[in-house]
A and B are shown apart, each in its own frame.
Chain A
Amino acid sequence: MRRFALIAIPYTWLLALFLVPFLIVFKISLSDIALAIPPYTPTMKDGFAALIQGLDFENFVFLTTDDLYYKAYLSSLQIALISTFLTLLVGYPMAYGMARAPQEWRATLMMLVILPFWTSFLIRVYAWIGILSNEGFLNQFLLWTGLISDPLTILNTNTAVYIGIVYTYLPFMILPIYAALDRMDDSLIEAAEDLGCSRLSAFWLVTVPLSKNGIIAGCFLVFIPALGEFVIPSLLGGSGTLMIGKILFEEFFNNRDWPVASAVAVILLLILIIPIVLFQRNQQKEAEA
């Protein structure tokens, strides 16, 4: 009996507040917009038969006819891919440096990587507005050095979004790669060098393949949340920055079109299922190894 309660309480909570809400989103994505409260039709009040009959895939057809959505999905994918790659470029050398640092520094370095993760996400994104704006610190600095004569426009472009994503998700990339590199046996590198490898080719042929699972985990941990990101494109991106999280938010709050917003959410989730499944398979492989 007690075991039953132990399982039932968290189970019921998650069913009621995670699974059921999602089924509601799915149902509303099949409904039509209406001038009513709530603003869609049919609702539960119309009876079960009318409810089933009233549902259709109209909103999904609408999403394919308006190329705004199609472009937003593609551009979210593109922004997420590019920024994941950039995060890897910044994160790998840092993880590598941490793994080679003296043992007594490592705990401190680790804490320095995690600390920003505990500070407000919103504030960390906000900090970049003052840096990247036309009169911002970066432009002031570059003008002062004489490298440029006119301020660069970075804020409100996709470049600012890339910077924002790399900055906020960097810890997610560093930690799994560091964990993989930390476990690596250094004598393997020595063996490779003894056998005539140069340092660089020992790195490419031994270190990188051995940290492969860390790289994959880090990339997924950045790519998956970046794809649905809302705060960064809204604060740092411009009107031309199309990201699906932003579209969903605007569709819901500005256009009050709940059925279309729900359909956007359903498709975003369908797109995310592929990387999520791949990520879990990678984690499982890692756990078995």
Chain B
Amino acid sequence: MKRLSPFNVTSLTLGFAFLYLPMLLLIIYSFNASRLVTVWAGFSTQWYGELMRDEAFLDAAVVTLQVAVMSSTIATVLGTMAAYVLVNSGKFFGRTLFSGMIYAPLVMPEVITGLSLLLLFIGIGLDRGILTIVLAHTTFSMCFVSVVVSSRLVSFDRSLEEAALDLGCNRFDAFRLVTLPIIAPAVISGWLLAFTLSLDDLVIASFVSGPSSTTLPIKIWSSVRLGVTPEINALSTLMIGIVAIGVISASLISKRSAVRAQQDARAAERSA
């Protein structure tokens, strides 16, 4: 029988306080009336208003979302293909190099990835802009997608796909009708991961973005370097809020579908 000792309770409380207190302070002080960021002067939402009127931030937010949607979608397609190849294709020429190129970007320092891509884009004469950021983000996030998807594909029962092939499906239909629905949760979490990685990236985007394609993290970075400002606190609060809602609802949905799957399994058992 496990029981939480006082030591366990203390370490969990302190640990989670450490994880959440900084963000909580950020959120509270985004509603501060004073421009002095560490002195409380009453409740106000004026910084949210200022933020909404700041066009530079809005433009950056639009660029960031465009980049994130495009790169995470391409990355999901490529990453799923790569995962399928890694898990199902057996031996082929250059397989070791391929799996190396999938895993290396996961641990590659961002400064190196950014530098190397910039040098490539300059070398081939590609102007820096939204396209170069999308290419860069797709490249590193497809590797994350392929790791997430291949961990699901490993446990996938291939005989289902073979059955579809025996019953007259071609390979693509078998993938689309049988494999894809089963691995869909992994593909979706891969997309979400790629999307967040793209939203979050500062270092690689700083290297490969041009003057007309400032992303939100680059914009935040240039104002944060000058110190804490209430507008950035307001922006941070909005971003934390969106992520929290997204993650919590995703986990509720997956919990519900797990419960449903369990019920289905039980019903199937009874009818069998």
Q: Could you tell me which A residues sit within 8 Å of B by CB distance?
A: 2-3, 6-7, 9-11, 13-15, 17-22, 24-25, 28, 38, 44, 90-91, 93-94, 96-98, 100-102, 107, 109, 111-116, 118-124, 126-131, 133, 135-137, 140, 167, 170, 186, 224-225, 227-231, 234-235, 245, 248-249, 252, 258, 261-262, 265, 268-269, 272, 276, 279-280
Contacts and interface: CB of A to CB of B under 8 A. Distances in A.
26 contacts: A7-B85, A9-B78, A14-B139, A22-B112, A25-B115, A38-B122, A90-B18, A91-B15, A94-B15, A94-B16, A101-B12, A116-B19, A119-B243, A120-B199, A120-B240, A126-B220, A127-B236, A129-B227, A131-B22, A167-B22, A170-B19, A228-B109, A228-B112, A262-B115, A268-B109, A272-B107
B9 A97 contact: yes
A289 to B, nearest CB: 16
A21 B114 CA distance: 10
A116 B23 contact: yes
B116 A265 contact: yes
B26 A118 contact: no
Name the residue in A38, A102, A131 with the highest tally of chain B Cβ atoms < 10 Å from its Cβ. Answer: A131
Given A112-B16, A130-B29, A258-B119, A268 B112 contact: yes
A22 B116 contact: yes
Contacts of A19: 97, 101
Contacts of B246: 118
Interface in B76-111: 78-79, 81-82, 84-85, 89, 92, 94, 97-98, 101-105, 107-111
B38 A136 contact: yes
Interface residues of B, number: 82
B202 A122 contact: yes
Given A94-B15, A122-B202, A131-B22, A28 B111 contact: no
B12 A119 contact: no
Contacts of B12: 94, 97-98, 101, 109
B19 A112 contact: yes
Contacts of B19: 112-113, 116, 167, 170
A93 B7 contact: yes
A100 B203 contact: no
A237 to B, nearest CB: 13
A21 B120 contact: yes
B247 A252 contact: no
Given A119-B243, A123-B220, A130-B38, A96 B107 contact: no
Given A11-B98, A120-B199, A276-B107, A93 B38 contact: no
